[in-house]
Amino acid sequence: MALDGFIEKIYRRYMVWKCRPSRVAAHLDKSLPGERKVPLQDGRRKIRVAALQLKLKLLKSPLHFADEMHRQVRKAVDRQARLAVFPEYNSLPLLGMLPGFEKIEEGYRKKAAGSPNNGSKKGSEDENSLVDVFKYMSPAVQPLVDITFSRLAKAYGIYIMAGSYPLAYNGGLFNRSFLYGPGGQLIGSQDKVHLFIDEAKWDLKRGSSFSIYETAIGNLALPVCMDATYFETFRILEHKGAEIALLPIADMQEYNYWLALRGIWPRVQESLLYGVKGALVGTLAGLVFSGRAGIFAPLELTPQQDGVLAEVNTDSDEAITVAELDLDALQELRQNHPWRDTNQALYSRYFPALYRQD
């Protein structure tokens, strides 16, 4: 899809202008509280966290996006959460800003009617178009995301993992998640290291390392969706000292309990972290997104010994769930675990060569 014509360039400048931080900030400031709402907790390191499940709906204005994110944050704050976790591809609703996108979307939907994706893909032309659109919108989306979540985090005095966004950097498109602190500061970001097969076909660029961020509520990591398919991600995060993994997902398939179990749940069992999953659900252009936002922990730290602290009860609608994470209990479990072991001689014998083979 060619998006470099004169009209497209003009419209992009218009979008950037509409998404300008001063405009969004002024809009948000009208409805934000004047003081911190969530009190700091003392004593044992217990953190109340919220996993958000957002339902896809196209938004025509960046101010609507800011309002929608504000509404979600308020839901978390109302439940006394000090950390809120948003989903992957959280900018998809902003496709509604593109003139005529609703019609295009309807066309895709009709084309796909009767054959929901079930993990299958649209044609490569459509996929490439989507990448071009993400790149096209990137200069408008990034400042909008930044000012929105910075303002919301500061106003409520909480940490926000703002979800992930396809954004253009150095000529490539990355799927990047962001973490904001209670001072409104951007604490850090994480590029998705393991791409979904479609993303690889779209030529998204992948990250090459994992970061963790030391905060007042624990050491946080921000792997993105497919990163939780691979044990390596959480093992590295654990080695780096992470205590809570904040995982945005946008799972492009019909919901199935077992398929959904394959991500963050086994990873927190293997590597002894808490995991908080924000999910995007709904349909867009005939594609079905499903999931269940939730909060997960090693079996020993969950009341039913099932690895689940809280999980929303819908895979297709907006929802929220909260739970308390006990970081001291996590450390105690790590130090006195009933079966954990390591074998560096084995890893060194096999991994260097095996990982590098084609």
Partner 1 sequence: MQVTALTMASLDLSSQEKYRAELTGLLKKSGTGLAVLPAYSALLLGVSTGAIPPAESFQKTFKDYIDRHLTWNDTYLELHEKIAREMDIYLAAGTVIEREKDLLYHTVYCFNPQGEPCLRQRQTHLTPFQLSIGLSRGEELPLFDLPPYKVGIIVDSDALHPETGRILGLQGADIVLHCGALSEGLNCWRQVAGMWSQVQQNQFWAVEAQLSGNLAGERFGAAPAVIGPCEITPGKSGYLQRGYPHTAEVTAELDEAARRELIRKYPLLKLLNWQAYSELYREES
> In angstroms, rounded to a whole number, what is the distance separating the alpha carbons of residues 39 and 57?
33
Instruction: State which of residues 193, 247, 322, 330 lies at the interface with partner 1 (CB under 8 A).
Output: 193
Interface with partner 1 includes 328 (CB under 8 A)? no
Instruction: Considering only residues 268 through 297, tell me which ones interact with partner 1, judged by CB under 8 A.
Output: 269-270
- Site string (199-238) toward partner 1, x via CB under 8 A: -x-----xxxxx---------------x--xxxx--xx--
Asked whether 243 and 268 are in contact (CB, 8 A), the reply is: no
Pairing label, strands 274-284, 159-169: unpaired
Structure tokens that stand for 1 in this block: 């899809």
Instruction: State which of residues 16, 266, 314, 329 lies at the interface with partner 1 (CB under 8 A).
Output: 266
206: which residues sit within 8 A by CB, 6+ positions away?
Answer: 174, 191, 192, 193, 194, 195
- Site string (298-317) toward partner 1, x via CB under 8 A: -x-----xxx----------
Q: Which is nearer to partner 1, 17 or 347 (CB)?
A: 347
> In angstroms, rounded to a whole number, what is the distance separating the alpha carbons of residues 108 and 23?
33
> In angstroms, rounded to a whole number, what is the distance separating the alpha carbons of residues 52 and 280?
9
How long, in residues, is the chain?
Answer: 358
Question: For the packed helices 62-78 and 21-29, what is the interaxial angle rounded to 10 degrees?
Answer: 40
- Site string (112-141) toward partner 1, x via CB under 8 A: ------------------------------
Interface with partner 1 includes 55 (CB under 8 A)? no
Interface with partner 1 includes 22 (CB under 8 A)? no
Q: Which is nearer to partner 1, 232 or 326 (CB)?
A: 232
What is the separation of C-alpha 243 from the centre of its chain, rounded to a whole number of angstroms? 17
**Strand residue runs (E) in 8-140:** 46-55, 83-85
Binding site for partner 1 (CB under 8 A): 193-195, 197, 200, 206-210, 226, 229-232, 235-236, 239-240, 256, 258-259, 261-262, 266, 269-270, 299, 305-307, 338-352, 354-357
